[in-house]
């Protein structure tokens, strides 16, 4: 059931209502211009509402004609999906011009009252007919308000998501600055310690063949290498990377990752599959960095599933770009973990550095793409959206 079908069912708008409105159109048509005049007179009485009408008299006249057309088509119907799409465009315009919800609601009530007065005037002796038309008009205005409010809600959700992403980007930028400075300070003494250890090993080999002494230096060497690897991972997150962007086939990148991770999936007893991966899907990306993104997401998904589980990757076009979706049928992500999933140094794995998902987020942000997470008890899904054109963000 579509959104429009659902709200029509909710207000019980049916064929009888549509017929009542259609029959009322020729009766009220001579009054529609007056209704439009009254509608905008009320708006102009209120400075905040009038501020959205910045185009002067020509804009006002266009809006009045549009309103008359809107009233006629509302009564005429048919009240189908094409009708809903047209109303949705009007709703998006209200949002774009910044008309506050309170003015949209009260302005609609101005029209509702004008129509009600017209019904009373048209059918003074026919109460059943007047009630039928008034009831149909009330349902119609409720439908129109629901559509308008739906678009205000979508806009609010979009603004909230954008704000959350800006906050996340600011947090990551601050952490990158801190990490870069810390890594730089640690690298110099670490390199010095490694050099001194190598000199010590040479002297020990010249002066003794005691394996216990050499074993100790070997262990220290391993720990320094481990710290070096960790430091490099920090720098991958902190270093302001440059994109080597070009048109690449995302399907080919994903296939390569799945080939690399097939052994890990087999060891886990999990199925690893590419779905909808036939024709090439081209996007403007840095192939190496997107390879790193997909590799991190696929490895995490494999680790999330139980033996016998399934991990699948989907690649396909979307409006303005392409997406890569990595989904698993594991137990899902708990709310507490989900809230911190992009934080640097946060990990639920024993011995994990907590840098993997932060690096994924920073690389997607570098591409001016998006990454969204959906999770439930039946599994998790990570959707990466990338742009097709390097000059247009998705």
Backbone angles phi, psi at 39, to 5 degrees: -55, -50
- What is the rounded distance in angstroms from the CA atom of residue 241 to the CA atom of residue 54? 44
Backbone angles phi, psi at 281, to 5 degrees: -125, 110
Question: Cα(first)–Cα(last) distance of the chain, in Å?
Answer: 28
Task: Give residue-wise pLDDT tens across range 35-85.
Answer: 888 888 887 877 776 676 666 677 778 878 888 888 888 888 898 888 888
Q: Which CATH architecture has domain 3-162?
A: Orthogonal Bundle (1.10)
Task: Give residue-wise pLDDT tens across range 137-193.
Answer: 989 888 888 877 776 676 666 666 667 667 766 766 666 666 666 666 677 787 788
Q: Tell me, yes or no, if the two domains 3-162 and 246-387 fold the same way.
A: no
Is the separation of the CB atoms in 11 and 142 below 8 Å? yes
Domain extent listing, the chain: 3-162, 167-238, 246-387
- What is the rounded distance in angstroms from the CA atom of residue 394 to the CA atom of residue 323? 10
Query: Considering only the top CATH level, what class is 246-387?
Result: alpha beta
Q: Is the overall model pTM greater than 0.75, yes or no?
A: no
- Could you say which of 1.10.3470, 2.20.25, 1.10.3210, 1.10.287 is the CATH number of the domain covering 167-238? 1.10.287
Calculate the CA 356 to chain-centre distance: 21
Is 251 a residue whose pLDDT tops 90?
yes
Calculate the CA 106 to chain-centre distance: 32
DSSP-derived secondary structure for 20-73: HHHHHHHHHGGGHHHHHHHHHHHHHTSHHHHTT--SHHHHHHHHHHHHHHHHHH
Calculate the CA 79 to chain-centre distance: 30
Is the separation of the CB atoms in 292 and 363 below 8 Å? yes
What local confidence, expressed as pLDDT, does residue 154 receive? 65
Alpha helices, H only, the chain: 3-11, 15-28, 32-44, 47-50, 56-76, 81-96, 101-122, 127-207, 211-238, 250-268, 287-304, 335-338, 356-366
**DSSP category for residue 12:** T
């Amino acid at each position: 059931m579509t959104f429009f079908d659902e709200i029509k069912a909710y207000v019980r708008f049916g064929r009888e209502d549509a017929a009542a409105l259609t029959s009322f159109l020729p009766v009220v048509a001579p009054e529609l211009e007056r209704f439009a005049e009254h509608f905008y007179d009320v708006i102009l009485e209120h400075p905040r509402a009038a501020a959205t009408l910045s185009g002067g008299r020509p804009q006002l006249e266009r809006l009045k004609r549009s309103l008359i057309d809107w009233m006629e088509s509302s009564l005429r119907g048919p009240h189908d999906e094409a009708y809903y799409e047209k109303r949705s465009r009007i709703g998006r315009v209200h949002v774009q011009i910044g008309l506050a919800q309170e003015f949209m609601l009260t302005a609609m009530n101005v029209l509702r009252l004008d129509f009600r007065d017209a019904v009373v005037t048209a059918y003074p002796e026919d109460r059943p007919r007047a009630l039928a038309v008034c009831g149909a008009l009330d349902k119609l205005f409720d439908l129109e308000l629901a559509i308008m409010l739906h678009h205000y809600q979508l806009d609010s959700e979009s603004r909230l998501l954008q704000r959350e992403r800006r906050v996340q980007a600011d947090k990551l930028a601050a952490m990158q600055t801190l990490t870069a400075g810390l890594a730089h300070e640690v690298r110099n003494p670490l390199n010095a310690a490694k050099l001194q250890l190598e000199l010590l090993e040479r002297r020990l080999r010249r002066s003794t063949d005691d394996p216990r002494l050499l074993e100790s230096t070997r262990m220290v060497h391993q720990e320094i290498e481990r710290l070096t690897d960790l430091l490099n991972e920090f720098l991958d997150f902190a270093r302001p990377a440059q994109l080597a962007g070009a048109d690449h086939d995302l399907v080919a990148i994903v296939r390569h990752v799945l080939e690399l991770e097939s052994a890990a999936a087999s060891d886990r007893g999990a199925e690893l599959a590419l779905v909808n991966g036939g024709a090439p899907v081209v996007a403007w990306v840095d192939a190496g960095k997107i390879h790193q993104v997909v590799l991190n997401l696929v490895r995490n998904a494999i680790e999330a599933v139980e033996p016998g589980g399934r991990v699948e990757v989907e690649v396909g076009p979307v409006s303005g770009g392409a997406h890569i979706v990595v989904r698993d049928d594991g137990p899902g992500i708990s709310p507490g973990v989900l809230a911190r999933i992009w934080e640097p140094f946060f990990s639920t794995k024993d011995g994990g550095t907590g840098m993997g998902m932060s690096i994924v987020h920073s690389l997607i942000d570098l591409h001016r793409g998006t990454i969204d997470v959906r999770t439930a008890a039946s599994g998790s899904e990570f959707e990466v959206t990338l742009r097709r054109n390097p000059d247009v963000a998705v």
